[in-house]
Chain A
């Protein structure tokens, strides 16, 4: 926008004076809220734009890591990838922040060599793609643009029992044939130099194996699930509120709404989590009703 009289000395002097006021802390911007007489209160009408490439990694304890810098390719989650995601995360929420329905189910096989255990082990999650247990209800259309994720299955028990003697040879058997320790399991990330104690949650086991020996020990990924938004996505969280003022959250956008709300609850608008202002606006409005 071209400013009239931009080079005019009076104009420049006005801006100089305003700059001085700005330097003194005087607000340079005033906001006029929409009229309460509007059919829909603007506080409920705000929209959130989820940045392109944003992913949310949810831990089994309900903690969440949010990043726009981790390029999740949808492949199997491994210890190394979990570590990389945590390192790339720009926001972190503590345990208990994410409801159980969005957490990994932790349904890890106790016997990876059994037919049932093997089939649900960490090599064959292809069937999980695009499948979410949460109800999509009336918001299905909103989720069309979302890609998702999967849960990397692994097993605490398996890990504990096989820790240190998994065969370790890592035969790179990614064919989904077995999560059996003797097969080496899925070793494609065995060489990640993750540390033994980076996993954060107490149920992450003690990953002391070094590189090639991890094989089926790469189990802590069982405790994480990643949700990604593949393109800049805009939605109105107010659509999740029913006529009684209750939240009906579902799907990936429901998760984002929860995370944004939790971030606002914990940190206010500090650090500007995308959409936190909108969520605080809505929550403030609802709390005042």
Chain B
């Protein structure tokens, strides 16, 4: 059974209208209006969420852009790590697909 979408070609974003943030020190509490859940994001995951709120990304574009957004080298922040972080956000519904081929 072939069921797999090609997520890499999709464009993704975070829609700030769907959540509300509250910063407490290094932790940001994000309340998701859609799920009713509150998530605790650390400095890395909130950085990714904020980056994705700026515009849409493919997963490759996200992997390329995130290290600079974090002020770290690409070696310190390889694509696999970015995609895993992305998966965490996606799993809880904080990012959404916005189009793509």
Contact = CB atoms under 8 A, between A and B. Distances in A.
B1 to A, nearest CB: 6
A254 to B, nearest CB: 20
Interface string B38-80: 1111111111001001000000000000000011100011101
A45 B34 CA distance: 8
Given A19-B70, A31-B39, A94 B34 contact: no
Chain B interface size range: 35 or more
Contact of B97 (A47, A93, A274): A274
Contact of B5 (A4, A19, A271): A271
Nearest to A42: B36
Nearest to B35: A46
A7 interface: yes
Interface stretch (A22-30, A108-116, A161-169): A22-30
A27 B80 CA distance: 14
Interface centre among B34, B72, B90 (most CB of A within 10 A): B34
Given A28-B44, A34-B37, A49-B34, A269 B91 contact: yes
A3 B4 CA distance: 37
B4 A19 contact: no
A277 B91 CA distance: 7
Contact of A31 (B4, B37, B78): B37
A247 interface: no
Q: Could you say which of A28, A49, A269 has the most chain B C-beta atoms within 10 Å of its C-beta?
A: A28
Contacts of A27: 88
A45 B98 CA distance: 23
Report whether over half of chain A's contact residues are helix, strand or loop; otherwise say mixed: mixed
B39 A19 contact: no
Interface string B1-28: 1111111000000000000010100101
A203 B101 CA distance: 32
A38 B81 CA distance: 36
A29 B43 contact: no
B77 A32 contact: no
Given A11-B43, A15-B70, A16-B76, A271 B37 contact: no
B101 to A, nearest CB: 7
Given A29-B89, A91-B5, A267-B3, A14 B34 contact: no
9 contacts: A1-B28, A1-B46, A22-B81, A29-B39, A29-B41, A46-B93, A49-B96, A69-B101, A278-B34
Interface of A: 1, 3-4, 6-7, 11-12, 14-16, 18-19, 22-23, 25, 27-34, 38, 42, 45-47, 49, 51, 69, 90-94, 234, 266-267, 269, 271-272, 274, 277-278, 281
Q: A-B pairs with the 6 shortest C-beta distances?
A: A42-B36, A90-B5, A28-B45, A30-B40, A18-B44, A32-B38
